[in-house]
């Protein structure tokens, strides 16, 4: 037992375990603290961002935006990866929507998921914005 | 039996024909080499791609490479002979030094190229943190010229300090992410030698646009003639070179890879099966020896100001400390470039976290697509015509897209074969991703040019895989404002009233999988500079001299501003044709499709 502990300690001290991934505990509930909002709305690029408590889990998470021109049919999906900074209390998700039609109103709601595809179960209302 | 004789006779005739053809071609090749830099050199490039001082700079680096090789030879001569001792046998006491010296001798050996004009170090010199040693190349063509003047690669030479610490490439199913490997696209997986850095060392000697041997057996052949062959045999065994190389080997190995005369044959040196196996073993030993040097305290020494800080022997300046806090905090840099420290620092908070690691590598060993614009200065785009050997590096021209890890997983054009079919399915999730390099030594420069940043005196480097960024200020500014100043243009076409890299960022080369951790960080100009100041604390050579970093004999650059450094050499991107099918139509295809 003590030998196993020693091996573990050596591994940690030599960085073998620390360096590759930065594991964090999954939050029991991931909720939106701020947003979602239209961070940028440009001719060819729209960025939607929101802040949640740090969801933990895989170091790469995806922000997910379901969107469409009909509030009842959000048929399109955009997702963008972000890296969790494990000890930050909150996480900013930012998602790119490329090449939207100009002067068009889009409806959207957001979610996030682990790199494995497991949803964080974020509850989001349907919002809307109009492209320039 | 008669049929076998006929086949053997046919094979012999074919070999003689190839040898004669090569012989004739070599005369032309040698003429071309002697005229390197003149009008007869391969030059498919429009004005502004090849720097005007290219030939003299290549000669300058050759001199420096030879100088270091001379030092390594002297070091070897000063070593006593290692003796195998114990069971299992170990080269007791000096085994480490002996194999590292062997690796150093190999790294600076110019004979490991067909016309004996290029070593590994020709693109990786210590004074540049083992990245590209020619400032004008970093400023313009980005990809370094290879053994055939002037073929060039496709990406910047990656710094190799700390590369040996990267693990074997693995898809972590729990995390849903790839970790490890070497090269920008992680194609040196380590699947066979179990050391990605060693497998990386096996690439350039047979890369058509780098050292360019036509056959891996040529490495064994040239090593068998090396002055340090006795050292190789002391480390790896007396019989290592018991290989019957046929007479035509020298002529074959003096001809660069990709030459039409080989007809696509990657093993033109005719060897028996046993000799081929022995040559392959030497090729592996080459790789392991170089890895040992790159992992040594001479190349990866943890001797920076930051290491001294971790040991309590250096106090960061106010700007360095502020930059460190931003690196952990507002900049979020250490979410990928792990620094082994606590995070969540507020502006008025001191870093009192316990040292989680005393040897942080400033990488997560992962990959990311940061949305870097296509760099039309990259010499690769222009190599669409055959050179005098009949070789075409890039038949697709600007139809080439660098999908990084995605192209590797598909074994697509521009990368290497993927040894793991199970990984292929993940290609669309990693398109555009490049390896998260350690940021250690990112700011390393020769002592007489103490910074990478204008107004200097500075040493011009190129950052990221395609060298689009010419200063660290630009790199940090990009992370900070990529989305804020995004424009739907390609490089060289920013709208009037804007300045590229200042308040205009052209569109990403690959839009898929762009990492959105950064892009609109809200850093001030001062905070950007403070992060640069912190990055400069990561250069080795503070606690003790960095071996051979004193060898730069070129000039420093002066003047201008780090924000617009190199902008005078911006090239206008031509209208881009669709992504070549050899890249973007290989299943599983990118999603969404890449224009």
**pLDDT tens digits, A26-83:** 888 999 999 999 999 987 899 999 999 999 988 899 999 999 999 999 999 999 999 9
Say whether pLDDT at B25 is over 50. no
CB-based contact (8 Å) between A132 and chain B?
A: no
First to last CA, chain B: 57
Contact B125, B61 (CB under 8 A): yes
With bands split at pLDDT 50, 70 and 90, how would you rate the model's confidence at B352?
low
Task: Using DSSP, state whether B434 is helix, strand or coil.
Answer: strand
Q: Phi then psi for A47, rounded to 5 degrees?
A: -120, 125
**pLDDT tens digits, B286-317:** 999 999 999 999 999 999 999 999 888 999 99
Mean pLDDT of chain B: 92
Residue B175 to residue A60, Cβ atoms within 8 A: yes
Nearest CA in chain B to A88: B344
Residue B516 to residue A82, Cβ atoms within 8 A: yes
Question: Checking DSSP bridges between strand A60-68 and strand A76-83, what pairing results, if any?
Answer: antiparallel
Say whether pLDDT at B338 is over 90. no
**pLDDT tens digits, B166-194:** 999 999 998 889 999 999 999 999 999 99
Q: Give the separation between CA B329 and CA B118, rounded to whole angstroms.
A: 43
What dotted CATH number matches A24-130? 2.60.40.10
Q: What residues does each domain of chain B span?
A: 2-295
Token pair belonging to B418: 């993927």
Positive or negative, the CA dihedral A32, A44, B330, B131 is: positive
Where is B138: in which H helix or E strand? helix B135-139
CB-based contact (8 Å) between B167 and chain A?
A: yes
With bands split at pLDDT 50, 70 and 90, how would you rate the model's confidence at B339?
confident
Q: Phi then psi for B61, rounded to 5 degrees?
A: -65, -35
Choose the closest CB to A116 out of B174, B340, B517. Answer: B174
What is the structure's pLDDT at B544?
97
Nearest CA in chain A to B520: A39
CA distance A85 to chain B (A): 5
Choose the closest CB to B517 out of A18, A58, A82. Answer: A82
What is the structure's pLDDT at A58?
86
Tell which residue, B450, B410, B378, B396, has the closest CA to residue B185.
Answer: B410
List the single range of B318-332, B370-384, B470-484, B548-562 with lowest mean pLDDT. Answer: B318-332
CA distance A16 to chain B (A): 10
Task: Using DSSP, state whether A40 is helix, strand or coil.
Answer: strand
What is the structure's pLDDT at B40?
75
Contact B124, B135 (CB under 8 A): no
Measured in residues, chain B has a length of: 595
Residues 6+ apart with CB under 8 A from B248: B15, B19, B22, B270
Q: Give the separation between CA B343 and CA B336, rounded to whole angstroms.
A: 13
What is the structure's pLDDT at B27?
34
DSSP state of B558: -
CB-based contact (8 Å) between B489 and chain A?
A: no
**pLDDT tens digits, A2-40:** 444 443 343 333 333 333 344 467 888 999 999 999 999
CATH topology of domain B2-295: Cytochrome Bc1 Complex; Chain D, domain 2 (1.10.760)
What is the average per-residue pLDDT within B493-500? 98
Contacts of A117 in chain B (CB under 8 A): 176
Residue B483 to residue A45, Cβ atoms within 8 A: yes
Choose the closest CB to B516 out of A15, A63, A86. Answer: A63
Instruction: Show the CA angle centred on residue B491, arms to residues B489 and B494, nearest 5°.
Output: 55
Instruction: Show the CA angle centred on residue B215, arms to residues B210 and B219, nearest 5°.
Output: 75
Residues facing residue A111 across a β-bridge: A64
Tell which residue, B283, B110, B359, has the closest CA to residue A14.
Answer: B359
CB-based contact (8 Å) between B334 and chain A?
A: yes
Looking at chain B, the whole-number percentage of residues with pLDDT higher than 70 is: 91
Q: Give the separation between CA B324 and CA B529, rounded to whole angstroms.
A: 11
Q: Give the separation between CA B251 and CA B463, rounded to whole angstroms.
A: 38
**pLDDT tens digits, B438-464:** 999 999 999 999 999 999 999 999 999
What is the structure's pLDDT at B121?
98
- Selected for mutation to probe chain B from A10, A85, A110, A118 (highest B CB count within 10 Å) is A85
Question: Checking DSSP bridges between strand A90-98 and strand A45-53, what pairing results, if any?
Answer: antiparallel
CA distance B293 to chain A (A): 20
Contacts of B357 in chain A (CB under 8 A): 15, 18-19
Burial B383-417, CB ≥16 within 10 A → b, else e: bbeebbbebbbbebbbbbbbbbbbbbbbbbbbbbe
Residue A115 to residue B342, Cβ atoms within 8 A: no
Burial B104-138, CB ≥16 within 10 A → b, else e: bbbbbbbbbbbbebbbbbbbbbbbbbbbbbbbbbb
CA distances from B255 to B114, B115, B202, B211, B262 (A): 6, 8, 18, 11, 9
Nearest CA in chain A to B346: A88
Residue B517 to residue A98, Cβ atoms within 8 A: no
Residues 6+ apart with CB under 8 A from B246: B269, B270, B271
**pLDDT tens digits, B522-554:** 999 999 999 999 999 999 999 999 999 999 999
The 3-state secondary structure of B477-508 reads HHHHHCCCCECCCCCCCCCCCCCECCCEECCE
List the single range of A11-25, B81-95, B141-155, B270-284 with lowest mean pLDDT. Answer: A11-25
């Amino acid at each position: 037992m003590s030998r196993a502990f020693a091996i573990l300690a050596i591994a940690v001290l030599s960085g073998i375990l620390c360096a590759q991934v930065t594991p964090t505990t999954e939050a029991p509930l991931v909720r939106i603290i701020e947003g979602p909002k239209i961070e940028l709305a440009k001719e060819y690029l729209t960025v939607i961002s929101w802040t949640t408590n740090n969801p933990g889990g895989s170091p790469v998470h995806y922000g997910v935006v379901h969107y469409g021109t009909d509030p009842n049919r959000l048929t399109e999906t955009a997702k963008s990866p972000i890296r969790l900074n494990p000890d930050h209390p909150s996480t900013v998700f930012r998602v790119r929507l490329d090449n939207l039609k100009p002067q068009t109103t889009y409806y959207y709601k957001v979610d996030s998921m682990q790199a494995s595809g497991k949803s964080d179960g974020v509850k989001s209302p349907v919002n809307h914005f109009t492209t320039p | 039996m008669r049929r076998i004789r006929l086949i053997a006779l046919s094979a012999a005739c074919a070999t003689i024909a190839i040898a004669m053809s090569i012989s004739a071609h070599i005369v032309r090749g040698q003429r071309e080499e002697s005229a390197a830099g003149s009008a007869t050199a391969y030059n498919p490039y429009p004005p502004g791609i090849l720097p005007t001082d290219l030939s003299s700079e290549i000669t300058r680096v050759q001199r420096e490479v030879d100088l270091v090789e001379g030092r390594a030879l002297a070091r070897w001569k000063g070593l006593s002979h290692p003796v195998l001792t114990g069971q299992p046998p170990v080269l007791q006491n000096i085994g480490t030094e002996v194999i590292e010296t062997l690796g150093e001798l190999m790294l600076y050996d110019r004979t490991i190229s067909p016309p004996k004009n290029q070593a590994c170090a020709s693109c990786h010199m210590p004074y540049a943190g083992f990245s590209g040693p020619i400032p004008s190349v970093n400023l313009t063509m980005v990809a370094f010229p290879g053994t055939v003047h002037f073929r060039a690669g496709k990406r910047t030479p990656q710094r190799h300090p700390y590369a040996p610490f990267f693990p074997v490439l693995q898809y972590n199913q729990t995390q849903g992410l790839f970790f490890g490997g070497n090269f920008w696209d992680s194609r040196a997986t380590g699947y066979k030698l179990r050391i990605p850095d060693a497998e990386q060392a096996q690439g350039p000697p047979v890369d058509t646009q780098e050292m360019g041997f036509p056959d891996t057996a040529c490495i064994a052949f040239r090593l068998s003639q090396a002055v340090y062959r006795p050292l190789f045999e002391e480390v790896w065994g007396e019989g290592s070179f018991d290989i019957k190389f046929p007479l035509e080997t020298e002529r074959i190995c003096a001809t660069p890879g990709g030459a039409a005369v080989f007809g696509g044959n990657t093993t033109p040196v005719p060897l028996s099966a046993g000799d081929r196996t022995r040559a392959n073993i030497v090729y592996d030993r080459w790789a392991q020896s170089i890895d040992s040097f790159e992992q040594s305290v001479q190349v990866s020494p943890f001797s920076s100001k930051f290491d001294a800080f971790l040991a309590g022997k250096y106090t960061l300046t106010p700007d360095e400390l502020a930059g460190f806090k931003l690196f952990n905090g507002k900049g979020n840099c250490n979410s990928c470039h792990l620094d082994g420290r606590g995070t969540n620092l507020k502006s008025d908070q001191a870093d009192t976290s316990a040292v989680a690691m005393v040897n942080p590598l400033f990488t997560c060993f992962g990959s990311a697509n940061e949305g870097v614009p296509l760099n039309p200065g990259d010499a690769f785009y222009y190599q669409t015509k055959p050179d005098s050997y009949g070789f075409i590096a890039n038949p697709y021209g600007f139809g080439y897209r660098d999908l990084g890890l995605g192209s590797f997983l598909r074994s697509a054009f521009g990368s290497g074969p993927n040894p793991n079919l199970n990984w292929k399915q993940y290609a669309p999730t990693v398109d555009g991703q490049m390896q998260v390099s350690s940021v250690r030594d990112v700011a390393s420069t020769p002592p007489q040019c103490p910074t990478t940043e204008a107004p200097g005196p500075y040493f011009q480097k190129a950052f990221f895989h395609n060298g689009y960024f010419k200063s660290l200020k630009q790199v940090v500014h990009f992370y900070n404002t990529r989305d804020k100043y995004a424009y739907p243009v390609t490089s060289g076409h920013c709208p009037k009233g804007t300045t590229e890299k200042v308040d205009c960022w052209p569109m990403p080369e690959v839009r898929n999988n762009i990492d959105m951790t950064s892009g609109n960080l809200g850093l001030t100009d001062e905070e950007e500079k403070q992060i640069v100041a912190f990055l400069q604390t990561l250069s080795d050579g503070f606690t003790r001299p960095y071996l051979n970093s004193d060898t730069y004999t070129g000039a420093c650059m002066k003047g201008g501003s780090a924000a617009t450094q190199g902008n005078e050499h911006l090239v206008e991107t031509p209208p881009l044709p669709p992504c070549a099918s050899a890249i973007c139509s290989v299943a599983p295809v990118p999603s969404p499709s890449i224009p």
